[in-house]
Chains A and B, each alone.
Chain A
């Protein structure tokens, strides 16, 4: 299947899901559940990630008639995930700073990599888990997913200045944590 055919198939699934076709939405969930879960895991850690992913996908289903295709479906889904993560985190009020690595029993990273790079990434993932939830959200959206400051601020319901301050503090803390590991 070429990239164009994949795109067309997805558009068809989206059109059907927008009209209430649950089977088509199930296919979309199958395609995107891993990326949604990964984002949730990075935003809120392993305790809440599965709940966030599930709730985000349910919200996406409810909101699908609003989806007009101005952004890519994945981008739209990511925004919903960020919003859901923020809402559930506030609700749960779990300000734990546990490492994110505890959630790996169900599949691990794809693709698997070995050696120094994997060690650095494991350290980075652990360090991300040590940030405050607000700092972690900004640094994940900005530096991992490449969002702009204004996009991250809008989706997190904070000002752009707050986003910049959190990003700066998060990067500084990450540097300190990673240098401590080496």
Chain B
């Protein structure tokens, strides 16, 4: 049971029902895991201050390739991909619903007939 609580506490760090919060407060193993998680967060956050120098010549290469400015939306490809994904999911859901409805109607008509 204790292992299960540790497992659940690890699955939902900082969240979850009061029982998990109480478990975290009393469990040394979970407290140690929490401390490791915070240390990892600090170490990752510290990486933000480090800057890697760009390869030499990057600036010149960019300037040599500048085209015209057309207010192109850099997120367009991402938005189109997301829209396609949602459309496919909606299509699949619609087809499933239609198939279910058709089945129900067929069963109804058989029962009546």
Give the residue of B44, B52, B63 whose beta carbon is less than 8 angstroms from that of A29. B63
Given A61-B66, A144-B45, A38-B52 contact (CB < 8 Å): yes
Per-position 1/0 for A100-133, Cβ under 8 A of B: 0001101111100000000011001100000000
Complex CA gap A85/B106 in Å reads 51
B62 to chain A, nearest CB (A): 5
Give the residue of A54, A104, A125, A139 whose beta carbon is less than 8 angstroms from that of B62. A54
Residue contact B63 to A175, C-beta cutoff 8 Å: no
Interface segment out of the listed B19-27, B72-80, B92-100: B72-80
* Interface: A9 (CB within 8 A): no
* Interface: B2 (CB within 8 A): no
Given A58-B65, A106-B53, A37-B48 contact (CB < 8 Å): no
Determine the chain B residues whose CB is within 8 A of the CB of A139 once the complex forms: 44
Determine the chain B residues whose CB is within 8 A of the CB of A80 once the complex forms: 74
Q: Chain B residue with minimal CB distance to A125?
A: B47
* Interface: A84 (CB within 8 A): yes
Give the residue of A20, A26, A41, A175 whose beta carbon is less than 8 angstroms from that of B52. A41
Given A37-B54, A38-B51, A83-B74, A120-B59 contact (CB < 8 Å): no
* Chain B residues within 8 Å of chain A by Cβ, number: 41
Given A108-B53, A109-B50, A121-B43 contact (CB < 8 Å): yes
Determine the chain B residues whose CB is within 8 A of the CB of A42 once the complex forms: 47
Residue contact B65 to A33, C-beta cutoff 8 Å: no
Residue contact A25 to B66, C-beta cutoff 8 Å: yes
Determine the chain A residues whose CB is within 8 A of the CB of B63 once the complex forms: 22, 25-26, 29
Residue contact A83 to B75, C-beta cutoff 8 Å: yes
Residue contact A124 to B44, C-beta cutoff 8 Å: yes
Determine the chain A residues whose CB is within 8 A of the CB of B70 once the complex forms: 62, 65
Sample of 29 A–B contacts (CB below 8 Å) = A20-B69, A22-B63, A29-B59, A29-B62, A37-B58, A53-B54, A58-B65, A58-B67, A61-B66, A61-B67, A61-B69, A62-B71, A64-B69, A65-B71, A87-B78, A104-B52, A106-B55, A108-B52, A108-B53, A124-B43, A143-B44, A143-B45, A144-B48, A146-B48, A157-B78, A157-B79, A157-B81, A171-B40, A172-B10
